[in-house]
Amino acid sequence: MAKDVLCEVNNCAYWADGNRCSASQIYVVSHRGDTASTSKETDCKTFERQ
């Protein structure tokens, strides 16, 4: 499991100094069902606007 999760979306409620994600859990989904070929085919459902 990832120790540090980085995020460059600084208007997210979970964005923290150093481009860190402070959410206790991360939820990522694929646009194509349960598989993805590239990161562009995914979305972070954890995002909440500040």
Dump pLDDT digits (tens) for 22-44: 999 999 999 989 999 999 999 99
What are the phi and psi torsion angles at 39 (to 5°)? -65, -25
Q: Which amino acid is at 42?
A: T
* Mean pLDDT, the chain, whole residue set: 95
| SS3 state of residue 35 | strand
Q: Model confidence at 3, in pLDDT bands (50, 70, 90)?
A: confident
Q: Indicate the number of domains in the chain.
A: 1
Is 1 a residue whose pLDDT tops 80?
Answer: no
Model pLDDT, residue 19: 97
Range of the domain at 11: 1-50
13-24: average pLDDT: 96
Model pLDDT, residue 29: 97
